[in-house]
Amino acid sequence: MIKENEQGILIVVSGPSGCGKSTLDQKLVERRNDTVISISDTTRSPRGDEVDGVDYNFISTEEFEQKIKDNKYLEYAIVHSNKYYGTPNEHIDEMLSKGKNIILEIDIEGARKINEKRPDAVFIFIMPPSMEILKKRLIGRKTETKEQIVERFKTAYKEINEVSKYNYVIVNDDIEESVLKMNSIIECEKCRVDRIEEVYLGNQEEMIHELLVDFDKENYKEKKES
Ligand code: 5GP
């Protein structure tokens, strides 16, 4: 009856470092085989047990700048400590046209650029339950120096001020609940009427003719039985 647009959804997820967005996205894609996380390029060094090609593509500044010149990024930004972060545009449209939802875990600046280029994208902001909890999480993960933590904490204040520019906000208090919420957002977005390409109801005259025939058959059956 309805032909829907089969395109995947481009999902932009932002939130301060330590809000738990990577864990959340990871858990979501484990549950949904129609959803993938885009792997960004960055010029920062790997942290903790991060793996090249899995968490990020860790590349040199020269390589990154060459890729900017070659127009290889859907968006890029300089985030912490003058390090580049960028979303390679390779594969994005191909994956979306195959019906895969793609998650971009990017900062607010990148999200703004995506909003200009791809107004069809869905913007989700992941919020820590409180600044106190964010502070504890940043210190607890033991992957940054004191200076880096202060920088990320300062950036968090700036980022949280931008929350109203997003379509949805998830306060990440309980990870399982947050995954359910994110899953629900995707399901809701799939039900948007602007995804309908065609509504086909059949020919009205023919349908009414069939309705009358069926009605008479039913009544005839009932009369025979009584
Ligand atoms: P982290 O160094 O903690 O992994 O990430 C720092 C920030 O960079 C986070 O806010 C993260 O979402 C953002 N980020 C990661 N990849 C990209 C990207 O491809 N583009 C942009 N604009 N930001 C990114």
Mean pLDDT of the chain: 94
What is the Å distance from ligand 1's center to 58 Cα?
12
What is the Å distance from ligand 1's center to 45 Cα?
13
What is the per-residue pLDDT across 107-156, written as a single tens digit (0 to 9) for each?
999 999 999 999 899 999 999 999 999 999 999 988 889 999 999 999 99
| Nearest residue by C-alpha to atom 16 in ligand 1 | 106
| 66 Cβ contact partners less than 8 Å away, ≥ 6 residues apart | none
Strand order through the sheet with 73-78: 57-58, 41-42, 84-88, 73-78
CA-to-CA dists, residue 176 to 28, 136, 169, 182, 213, angstroms = 10, 20, 15, 10, 53
What is the Å distance from ligand 1's center to 208 Cα?
58
What is the Å distance from ligand 1's center to 141 Cα?
17
What is the Å distance from ligand 1's center to 108 Cα?
9
What is the per-residue pLDDT across 7-38, written as a single tens digit (0 to 9) for each?
999 999 999 999 999 999 999 999 999 999 99
Which of 79, 142, 154 has the most ligand 1 atoms within 8 A of CB, as the residue to mutate?
79
Pairing label, strands 84-88, 73-78: antiparallel
State residue 225's pLDDT score.
81
- Dihedral Cα 113, 117, 119, 124, nearest 10 deg: -30
What is the per-residue pLDDT across 78-87, written as a single tens digit (0 to 9) for each?
987 779 999 9
| pTM over 0.85, yes/no | yes
Query: Which residues have C-beta atoms less than 6 Å from ligand 1?
Result: 17, 40, 44, 75-77, 79-80, 85-87, 105-107, 109-110
106, pLDDT greater than 80: yes
| Nearest residue by C-alpha to atom 4 in ligand 1 | 17
| Nearest residue by C-alpha to atom 20 in ligand 1 | 86
What is the Å distance from ligand 1's center to 79 Cα?
7
